[in-house]
A and B are shown apart, each in its own frame.
Chain A
Amino acid sequence: MSTNPPQSKSPKTSTPVSADSPSDPAKPPSPLELTNSQLLRRMFRFLAPVRALAALACLLIVAWVFVEINAVKTTGQIVNAVKDTLESGKVANTPFWDAIGREPLRSIVHMIVILGLLVVLNNFITFLRTYMNSRFTMDMVYHMRAAVYDRLQNVGFAFHDEHSSGALINRALSDLQNVRAFLQMGLLLTVEIVAFVVGWIVYMSTISRWVALAALLPVPFWIWYILRFGRKMQPAQQAAMKAGDDVVTVLTENVAGVHVVKAFATEGTEIQKYNAAANTWFDRVMDTVRLWRNFAPIIRGIASASHLTLFAICALLVVLTADVPPPSATLPTSTLAPSTAPASLPATAPEAAAATSAPTATITASSPAFPVKVNVGHLLVFGAAMGAILSRLQQVNQISDQYQRAIVSARRFFEVLDAPSTVPEFTKAPDLPRGPGAVEFHFVTFGYDPAKPVVRDIAFDVPGGSIVALVGPTGSGKSTLVQLLARFYDPQNGQILIDGIDIRKASLTSLRKSIGFVFQETFLFSDTVANNIRYGHPDATMGDVEAAARVSQAHEFIMELPQGYDTMLGERGATLSGGQRQRLAIARAIISNPRILVLDDALAAVDPETEHLISRALELVMVDRTVFIIAHRLSTVKASDLVIVLEHGRITQAGTHKELLRQHGHYRHIAEVQLAYQEKEILAKAEKRADKADASSEEKKT
């Protein structure tokens, strides 16, 4: 886009492209354009606030691995010590409790005690590690959630309009979860894998470089195969998951639309539909199982092969180094006792095996490769080492899996975090002073998409305390207009003034405090009735709440609720009718005594009786405020000081009810439509009367 400056007059064919995607050159690259590595870097920035804890968690892992290796090593040494003792021919013929106090067993018991201490230490570190991981993760998640929550609250409505609330919630919960899982796993698991592999390899190379090499040999293949499998498995698993979701969708829709199913007697086809979906799911699940079935044996095969190779090498080494004295005695290269064991033969020269006297020289040559005497205990150690290395490496797949998921999630997640506030606030903007509530729209133009203005050149001004009715067909921009007043959006052109002050120059808080809103669709929170009423004014007393409820005609029905004002609403609480909710919303809007009251189609979907109650409530609350009211029914409009008729985003008529009735136009049209019923009525009545009169006159005649 940088190659295409906005001023340049490019040929007509290319302009529509840039016009369709309005771009702001000053904006940083959107998360959709970030590369994976940039995303990765940004993700890791979440670790910054918890870096001390994270570092500690990593250190604990290293410590844990160190102790773990030493514990296994000690176990091996114990077995070796027993074997050596046995070969030295010392026998303890005393009972158990005596024997363990004396040599040769005493030194072995010492080693067992050391092993015990190591294991206890190891488990203590495990405890610390679990605790630290949790601490560090939770702290990180806390910051992330707070950040996204804060962003979502302040991002402005253009963003909310673009994304469904479900998607946004998902972003805040599951996308965050994915990023979190990757950061935690990516960090801790990597440290763990590296520590284990390096630790064991280092230990094994103290025994022999060749042993270490043999242990490393399967590693590349192992990793390659696991990653390859992961790539294959991912689509299969997604397919299975999607098939499962489809099954759930059929079930959900069936249960939600049960009346339709029953009324059309389509139970049979529904069952067929479900069974077909279920069969697909079954097949997809079995697909993944088959992939597993093909993968797991090979992975186990490699693991077993490595284990067995190492065991074989170890066993051979035991035989080969049988004459090397234990490392504690002297340097292995200096002492070479003549072999007495018939089996100690070099693997390098099997053909020359006939002579029993030959070995001495060969062992001298090969002994530097085995600086440590390998004994049977090492079998245990090697087995444990290989198991530890391979099982950690298997988790490489997990990291890559999580990485894939995190990248997708991070992109969406940063989309929220990077979303600019569409209604920027000046730093230290002054509060809106309390005035009469005069409102002036000064040639305001606005569109959700700037290319398609919804309201154009709106200009009017009303003194404080007037009642303004907005009338017009659906989509003419009435709701948009009142939302501009509360700065849910900022107009692209023109300005809006309250008591002579541009609303963009006042603080958002003070602006919205001075406007009370009753929305078309009443949204109540799952909280008590009282807390819902004092929502915008948390420190209101019970007296204030009750007063507001009385004015809005809500007090009576509230008192009939099981716990009165303390009744819980929402999902787990009482359910209210549309009219009742509407009256609560009115109470909520007026409790903080706003100068300006906006009633956005508050009477759209209520039955006539409730409408009557609500209009009474409105009459009471409209006193002494500037009121903007959007309505379809003339009864509500009639009482207003100014009626503004909006059509296609423009003001087409303005004046009082009576004035507008005298003009040709939309207002008179709707009045006529609504009156038509009445007229029909009168005509019908007249006809009937005439009929009756005829009938009676005819009767008279007869």
Chain B
Amino acid sequence: MISTLMKRKRDQRREVAKINLPTAGPVKDPNAPEGEPDYKPLEWPVVKKILHWMAPYKWNYIVALLVNLAGTLLDMLGPLYIKHLVDHDIPGHPHMLATGLVAALRTTFPGTAESVSRSLQHHAPFWGIGCTIALWAFTTFLSILLMRFNMEYNRRTGEKVVFAIRKAIFAHLQQLSMSFYDRTKFGRILSRGTTDIDAMVNPVVNGVNTVVTNAMMMGIAAVMIVYSDWRMAIAVLWLGPVLYFMNQIYRRKIGAKWRQVREHFTRVSTNLAENINGMRVVAAFNRQEENLSHFNELQDVNTINNIQASATNGIYMPLLNVVGFIGKVIILMFGCYLVIRTSGQSATARFTVGTLMALYMYWDWFMNPVLNFGNFHNEMMQAMASAERIFTLLDQRPEVTDSADAIALPPVKGEVRFDHVNFAYKVDKPVLHDITFEARPGQTIALVGHTGCGKSTIMNLICRFYLPQQGGILIDGYDLRKITSDSLHRQMGIVAQSNYLFSGSVLENIRYAKPDATEEQVIAAATALGSHDVLSELKDGYHTQVGERGSAMSLGQRQLICFTRAFLANPAILMLDEATSAVDTHTEMIIQQALERLVADRTTFIVAHRLSTVTSADLVLVLDHGKIIERGTHHSLLELGGKYAELYRQFTREIGSDTP
């Protein structure tokens, strides 16, 4: 009863989680990432891996299991108490507890014993009922105590395992190379740490208990039935497998139906999300009526799917009930016959009314585990699919690792040299061909070219997110392959085009790379960079929350925070991908100025979108299809009259053609 309640709570939570997702832009059903199976049959290697995670807590699991078994055993006494009440106490047989009490009293208080004994003789049923109920209350009390203990103990054990896996997933994600992140869809990576691990919670917490306890319940109930009469056992026990298979069929059918409901509902919610996001287009193109009717069509299908699923439920649930009930009918019929048939026999050979009632009750203890097994099997199959994905992730080795003899990069001046570098993300699709150039310390290198020409790949290689297939990249003469990535990244800064911020305050974001920086240091850095005025004018100054991924900040503010973050980190080498979107003139001026200060005195690689950035660069590399086709300063390149000059002319076409 309690466990089902708890399960319901968890389901509700999941439900809520599922529904809340649309806030994060495009709607996706988190439970069914595309192309990933929901179910997987039980496989020993995966189970073994789960058990491996549980192994450190095996004694806790054993204790929890024993406690659970003891509690269940105590609960299973219920029908026996009823039997005792009916067969023993009501007819007036002396209760052994009462006789025991008399015997115990006789040695110490003979007088009391005598009166009790007399009362026992005359009021045997009352004593009997009283003793049985008292005993029953006592065992129930014990069982409740055990339950109380186990509710926390068992859950704590299981959750510890689950949280260990959660942490392992996160820690492992930190190790994986950028290539993994480029290859794998964001949603999928995310679902490893959310829905996949959530699917494992119940099997890990309750798996062992569920299997063993239910097996024990079934076993004991079956023994009780066999013990009472073997013919009775033959008459009813075959219903167990029948119910199991029917339940399996039902599970499969209803699973398919619910999947259909879920998949289709994604279309309903996607439609809704899309139309709200594109509301201006909807209004501008007068699509309200069509959209509503289309939405209602989707809703119609959703309604039909839901009703079909309930109809399946409505048919199978009663059927399963009826199968369970057939057993009860058999027990009643055959039991009644046996009761009357054996009434003349000796007390021990008799099939009593109490036995009949107890069997009637034990029948539920026999049939419920059959259903529980089915449900658990189902849940286990979901967990299997999730667990396999999680373990695949955990088994994934990072592609870029420090070599065994890697040394820490000593503090560098910032000289970067590319020596005939060839690189491809996928073997058959080379991205960079024979790139050779040299950046002297403190220089600003602008990378220019069309989308996909290899600008960001060069940046990625300098960051050692990838290793080149041929050629070498040297920083102050150290080959990137031979140094540790940590020591490299500590001397490197990045300002990405997306101006990525973490939720938290402005202050926290600025000192992201240097967590021990004081607020004064942060303000000093911002002042030196020229961003202080803008940042201190925010609602709560440096303590303003930036919102999830910086959503509460304007584009210009985000850029400035990222600049300040990089400036505070004071790296020898800076990677900068300029944002394309326009900001207003005033902010633009501040950003320009900050940029100039940021790139001064450090080697900077810029994917440039501003003309002024390119013109002031020490070296401009013009890339086309993975090759450096032109190199030089802005002026020398213009003079050359090649690709760069053409790009530049396009950029300033309007001015060239109409000089006042």
Contact = CB atoms under 8 A, between A and B. Distances in A.
B486 A265 contact: yes
Contacts of B451: 577, 607
Interface string B302-318: 11001101110111011
Given A135-B307, A138-B307, A607-B451, A86 B174 contact: no
Interface residues of B, number: 168
A96 B334 CA distance: 8
Contacts of A172: 272, 276
A432 interface: no
Given A115-B329, A536-B286, A638 B318 contact: no
Nearest to A344: B125
Contacts of A383: 82
A131 B353 CA distance: 40
B137 A86 contact: no
A244 B357 CA distance: 48
B147 A154 contact: no
25 contacts: A75-B360, A83-B353, A96-B334, A112-B333, A131-B311, A134-B310, A142-B299, A153-B279, A170-B19, A177-B19, A252-B24, A255-B173, A264-B489, A265-B490, A271-B167, A304-B144, A316-B125, A354-B122, A488-B280, A509-B286, A516-B284, A523-B281, A536-B286, A608-B653, A671-B660
B344 A91 contact: yes
A162 to B, nearest CB: 13
Given A82-B340, A85-B340, A241-B16, A315 B85 contact: yes
Interface in A245-281: 247-249, 251-267, 269-271, 274-275, 278-279, 281
A677 B19 contact: no
A75, A166, A290, A661 — which one has the most chain B CB atoms within 10 A of its CB?
Answer: A166
A675 B281 contact: no
A475 B287 contact: no
B140 A308 contact: yes
A157 B655 contact: no
Contacts of A89: 343
Nearest to A271: B171
Interface in B595-646: 611, 615, 635, 638-639
A260 B577 CA distance: 12
A341 interface: yes
Contacts of A109: 333, 336
B92 interface: yes
A142, A165, A241, A513 — which one has the most chain B CB atoms within 10 A of its CB?
Answer: A165
Interface string B504-521: 000000001101000000
A157 B126 contact: no
Given A262-B489, A264-B513, A523-B280, A289 B329 contact: no
A473 B587 CA distance: 12
Nearest to B654: A635
A486 interface: yes
A147 to B, nearest CB: 10
Nearest to A615: B653
B500 A142 contact: no
A78 B336 contact: yes
A475 B269 contact: no
Given A255-B186, A316-B129, A271 B549 contact: no
A300 B451 CA distance: 67
B395 interface: no
Q: Main SS of the interface on chain B?
A: helix
Contact of B496 (A169, A247, A259, A278): A259
B353 A256 contact: no
Contacts of A560: none
A130 B314 contact: yes
A535 interface: yes
A217 interface: no
B270 to A, nearest CB: 7
A343 B123 contact: yes
Contacts of A255: 173, 181, 186, 189-190
4 closest A-B pairs by beta carbon, nearest first, are: A635-B654, A536-B285, A123-B318, A265-B489
A326 to B, nearest CB: 15
A166 B341 CA distance: 72
Contacts of B655: 634, 674-675, 677-678
A165 B277 contact: yes
Interface stretch (B412-420, B522-530, B578-586): B578-586
Nearest to B201: A285
A127 B279 contact: no
B170 A254 contact: yes
Contacts, number: 457
B295 to A, nearest CB: 5
B404 interface: no
Given A105-B340, A253-B548, A169 B492 contact: no
Contact of B280 (A133, A267, A519): A519
B582 A604 contact: yes
A92 interface: yes
A174 B16 contact: yes
Given A131-B310, A165-B273, A173-B19, A512 B137 contact: no
B34 to A, nearest CB: 8
A688 interface: yes
A457 interface: no
Interface in B445-500: 450-451, 463, 465, 485-486, 488-490, 492-494, 496, 500
A11 interface: no
A261 B170 CA distance: 13
B123 A308 contact: no
B635 A688 contact: yes
B86 interface: yes
B5, B486, B496 — which one has the most chain A CB atoms within 10 A of its CB?
Answer: B5
Contacts of B280: 157, 488, 517, 519, 523
A547 interface: no
B337 to A, nearest CB: 5
Given A149-B275, A153-B291, A315-B133, 13 more contacts: A96-B337, A167-B23, A254-B170, A255-B173, A255-B189, A261-B174, A270-B170, A286-B155, A304-B137, A316-B126, A345-B122, A525-B281, A635-B653
B373 interface: no
Contacts of A258: 178, 181
Contacts of B500: 256-257, 259-260
B283 A157 contact: yes
A42 interface: no
Interface string B18-52: 01101111111000001000000000000000000
A294 B582 CA distance: 59
Contact of A149 (B272, B284, B322): B272
Contact of B152 (A105, A146, A289, A612): A289
A173 B133 contact: no
B252 interface: no
A337 B193 CA distance: 75
Contacts of A104: 340
A400 interface: no
A686 B20 CA distance: 63
Interface in A288-344: 289-290, 292-294, 296-297, 299-301, 304-305, 308, 311-312, 315-316, 318-319, 341-343
Given A274-B167, A316-B126, A509-B286, A391 B336 contact: no
Nearest to B330: A112
Given A165-B273, A174-B16, A289-B151, A146 B295 contact: yes
B90, B140, B321, B651 — which one has the most chain A CB atoms within 10 A of its CB?
Answer: B90
Given A473-B584, A688-B635, A304 B140 contact: yes
A571 interface: yes
A108 interface: yes
Nearest to B585: A473
B114 interface: no
Contacts of A265: 485-486, 488-490, 492, 513
A82, A244, A312 — which one has the most chain B CB atoms within 10 A of its CB?
Answer: A82
Given A123-B322, A138-B307, A166-B25, A608 B295 contact: no
